[in-house]
Homo-oligomer: A and B are copies of this chain.
Amino acid sequence: MIVEKPTILICNDDGVNAPGLRYLIETVSEFGNVIAVAPADHRSGQSSAITIGEPLRIVRHADIGKAEVYSVSGTPVDCIKLALHTIVAGRKISLMLSGINHGSNAGNCVVYSGTMGAAMEACMQGIPSIGYSLLNHSWEADFSQCAPFVKEITAAVLKKGLPHNVCLNVNIPAHCTPKGLKVVDASEGFWTEEYVEYKDPQGVPFYMLSGRYVDKNPEADNTDSYWLDRQFVTVVPVTVNPTASDKIPIVRQILEK
């Protein structure tokens, strides 16, 4: 019996040249045939944005090991949609992996994350999907502690799948050997000092996003932020259907005349 190797689609939001993408490709190549389709440039914070009314182009890059590598001139979600329509059209994709992101996607960051945007898009298209992030923004980040966890989680999901409409948001602490793995809720937080104001050469103000994430409940021991602080890898199940069905009765009451 010939068992065909599974096909694994990889994307990210830091762009096709990001060291984290290369590291992920090399780490999971043993599990299947890897095809990477990533944004041509840096697309952090793109959430589930799609490009409407503008042309998208596909470029083939040098292989990484045996993995084919392509870039798309759009967002992470554009990469997934266009890859499924063209590059891997008609092929069964067994798994979609996103990352490894240079920086945290814990807590509320998941809402803005292009890394998770790509994973959520693949999930909506019925593909088991995982976003991986390392809590280090540096382009020179050391990813070496990620491999055992990435391999363990990837192998388990490849073997057992994931629930309908649910993908995984995996965050990995930096500058340490993680102590283990926790499946938990996302922390709920907010940002302070969100913008820095500048004056341009004409004296007109402009603003750039900055901000510091503040966990609302730092002592709650069921959140990703809590366990990342304590050097654990965290796994948060993320739904791609944001309908709050359980709130339908109360919204009906609110709207009653």
Q: Report the nearest B residue to A186, measured CB to CB.
A: B243
A197-241: contact bitstring with B at CB < 8 Å (1 yes, 0 no)? 110100011111100000000000000000000000001111111
Closest to A204 in B: B57
A252 CA / B156 CA spacing, docked (Å): 11
Q: Tell whether, in the assembled complex, residue B44 and residue A47 are in contact, meaning their CB atoms are under 8 Å apart.
A: no
Contacts of A206 in B (CB 8 A): 55-57
Q: How many copies does the complex hold?
A: 2
Q: Is the CB of B207 within 8 A of A86?
A: yes
Give 23 pairs: A residue, B residue, CB < 8 Å, sorted on A.
A46-B47, A47-B48, A47-B49, A47-B50, A47-B77, A49-B112, A56-B206, A56-B207, A57-B205, A81-B195, A86-B195, A86-B207, A108-B124, A125-B190, A162-B251, A163-B244, A166-B251, A168-B251, A185-B245, A186-B241, A188-B241, A237-B244, A238-B244
